[in-house]
Every structure is written in structure tokens, then in C-alpha cells.
């Protein structure tokens, strides 16, 4: 039997080997996925139209959020559980929602957390926590620091976390979803993202998703390379809704692919192995889960009549998801 110090080192080595093996096992990594975030994670405006009319002649639509997309993309749906605490109402009370969603995520005991747009309203918006107008970048930095502090309890659990940085959404001002006062200026966005990147670099379990680059490429109609494929408008139709703020169904898949690829940096390449992200396959599985034949995705050029309005109505309950309703 090894002596005490040697035995301690041996046990630590054994534990490390076990943890690495678990991380390399897609089943272990993706067994319990929790999603926290705002409207992109909540699937705002994302729809799948059912082709078969109901008795009254109407054609129902299915609301789709990131949780339902993950479930539909799972190679073995029975092997994963996806829970979402994302809400499109995050902007109404960013501090309270941030803390509450972290507490719920900790209680889930997840194996992976996706916080793709969780930081968005920590820095976007027009009011400080005291209700006064945001006037400087320092005001936004203060809000960001509170959000990062709120995320720390989840970091301390040791679970891998995919955290998105801040995209430049000035285009959404023209889309009618954001006002100029809500959007950080370009220099402030650089400063905010530098802080996010530095914070994540000091936490080994946090995988940073370069959401700023994903959105920049989407806006420029350039391909997004993720999960061994190019996601581009030329092949898939629009990836952004007409509000210029929220992704379409295929755009949501592209974001999810980028997030899973980021997760792979903390899970030894195991995460993406558990999912088939082919858009046609995911669409078919979504429709099958809803008890219908396959339907074209909204914003698909072949289904122009189903394109969402510039300001889509709030998303209905997503089919087949363990997602709770938004507060």
C-alpha cells in the first residue's frame, strides 16, 4: 500500500483519470443539460409550421426554443434531459432573473450548462439598477460585474459552462426591437467583452462562446464554421429574423452548433458527438415529436408565407420540452 503522501497523489491521479474519462463520455457530459439565458435561448419568434390543417382549416405552428432543438437533435433522446430557465422577459428585471436562474441551475445538478445569451441584459438596456438612466460605459461595467458575481455560485459547482460574450446589435435599432439608448457604443462593447474574456480565462470550467463573431458573420452573410459544417444564408435561408435581433430556426441551430463546439473545449470533444445537427433531420424530428409530418422551417425561402413579422408575438409553449413557462 502506498505511504500517505504517495497514496494521496495516487488517489488524485485516479480521480483525475476518472473525471477525464467521464468528460470524454458523451452520455456523461450531456446527461443533464440546463439552459439559462434570454430571448435567443427562449426561442423568441422561432416557429415551425405544421402543413396538415386542423378541422377548422387553420395550420398550427410549433414554438421552438433551444431546449426543444437540443432534444430533437439528440442522437439518443432517451439519454439526455434538457431543462431550460431561459426567458424572453429577462430584460424586465436583469439582476433578479440572473440570480434566480443561477439558483435554479445549481439545483438542477446539471452535467453541462448553456448560458449563450445570459449576459446580454447585464450590459444592454437603458437603466441602472437604481432606476436611473445609464449614462456611461462605467454604468454598464457595473451591471456586468454584478452579473459575473451572480454566476459565481454555478462556477463553483465545477460544471462545464458555455458562456456567450456580447454581440454588437446596433442593427436591431433599425429592426425596431432596441432603442439607441439600450445599445452600448462600439468602444464600450470592446471594453465589456475584454472583461468577459478575462473573467472566463481565469475559470477553467467556463468555455467562452464568441457570440460576437457569430452575430457579426450572420449580419455580413458570411458562413459560421461549427460542428464540421458551414452555416450560411446561401444554403439555409435567412439566419436572422426581420427584427435583426433574434435568429431564425436555422440561425438558432447555427448558434447551438457554435455553443456545443465551445463546450467541446471543456469536455474533450465529447459534446458534439451526442447530437445530429443536420437542419433537415432536426426539422423532421421536431415535426415527428409534434405528431405531424415534416414541415418547412419558418424563414425557409420555400415557406415564405410563414416568415415572422418584424416584431413576432411572444413564443407559445414549445412542444416536447421540459421548459417552464416564462415568468
Report CA-CA distances (Å) from 181 to 92, 130, 178.
16, 17, 8
The answer, yes or no, to whether residue 19 has pLDDT greater than 50, is: no
pTM: 0.81
Dihedral over alpha carbons 299, 305, 311, 312 (to 10 degrees): -80
Query: Quick one: pLDDT band at residue 18, thresholds 50, 70, 90?
Result: very low
The answer, yes or no, to whether residue 249 has pLDDT greater than 70, is: yes
Work out the average pLDDT over 86-105.
96
Q: Give the HSE-up count for residue 215: Cα atoms under 13 Å, Cβ half-sphere.
A: 22
**Residues above pLDDT 90, as percent of the chain:** 66
Work out the average pLDDT over 29-48.
94
pLDDT at 262: 96
- Domain assignments of the chain as residue spans, ordered by start: 30-306
E runs forming strands in the chain: 32-35, 47-49, 61-63, 81-84, 112-115, 161-164, 206-209, 224-226, 229-231
Give Cα 89 to chain centroid, integer Å: 15
**What architecture (CATH level 2) is domain 30-306?**
3-Layer(aba) Sandwich (3.40)
pLDDT at 223: 95
The answer, yes or no, to whether residue 182 has pLDDT greater than 80, is: yes
How many of the other CB atoms lie within 10 Å of CB of 156? 11
Mean of pLDDT over the chain: 83
Amino acid at each position: 500500500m502506498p505511504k500517505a503522501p504517495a497514496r494521496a497523489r495516487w488517489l488524485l491521479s485516479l480521480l483525475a483519470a476518472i473525471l477525464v474519462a467521464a468528460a470524454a463520455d458523451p452520455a456523461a457530459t450531456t446527461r443533464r443539460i440546463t439552459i439559462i439565458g434570454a430571448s435567443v435561448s427562449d426561442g423568441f419568434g422561432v416557429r415551425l409550421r405544421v402543413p396538415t390543417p386542423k378541422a377548422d382549416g387553420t395550420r398550427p405552428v410549433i414554438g421552438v426554443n433551444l431546449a426543444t432543438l437540443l432534444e430533437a437533435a439528440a442522437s439518443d433522446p432517451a439519454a439526455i434531459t434538457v431543462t431550460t430557465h431561459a426567458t424572453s422577459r429577462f430584460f424586465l428585471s436583469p439582476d433578479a432573473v440572473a440570480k434566480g436562474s443561477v439558483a435554479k441551475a445549481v439545483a438542477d445538478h446539471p452535467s453541462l450548462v448553456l448560458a449563450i445569451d445570459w449576459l446580454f441584459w447585464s450590459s444592454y438596456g437603458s437603466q441602472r439598477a437604481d432606476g436611473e438612466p445609464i449614462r456611461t460605459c462605467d454604468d454598464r461595467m457595473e451591471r456586468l460585474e454584478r452579473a459575473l458575481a451572480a454566476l459565481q455560485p454555478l462556477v463553483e459547482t465545477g460544471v462545464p459552462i458555455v458562456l456567450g460574450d456580447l454581440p454588437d446589435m446596433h442593427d436591431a435599432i433599425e429592426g425596431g426591437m432596441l432603442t439607441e439608448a439600450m445599445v452600448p457604443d462600439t468602444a464600450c462593447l470592446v471594453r465589456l467583452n475584454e472583461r468577459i474574456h478575462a473573467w472566463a480565462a481565469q475559470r477553467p470550467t467556463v468555455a467562452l462562446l464568441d457570440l460576437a463573431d457569430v452575430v457579426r458573420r450572420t449580419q455580413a452573410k458570411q458562413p459560421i464554421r461549427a460542428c464540421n459544417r458551414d452555416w450560411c444564408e446561401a444554403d439555409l435561408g435567412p439566419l436572422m429574423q426581420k427584427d435583426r435581433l433574434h435568429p431564425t430556426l436555422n440561425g438558432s441551430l447555427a448558434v447551438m452548433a457554435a455553443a456545443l463546439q465551445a463546450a467541446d473545449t471543456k469536455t474533450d470533444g465529447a459534446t458534439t458527438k451526442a447530437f445530429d445537427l443536420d437542419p433537415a433531420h432536426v426539422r423532421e424530428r421536431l415535426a415527428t415529436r409534434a405528431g405531424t409530418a415534416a414541415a418547412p422551417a419558418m424563414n425557409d425561402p420555400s415557406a415564405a408565407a410563414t416568415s415572422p413579422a418584424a416584431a413576432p408575438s411572444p413564443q407559445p409553449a414549445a412542444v416536447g420540452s421540459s421548459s417552464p413557462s416564462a415568468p
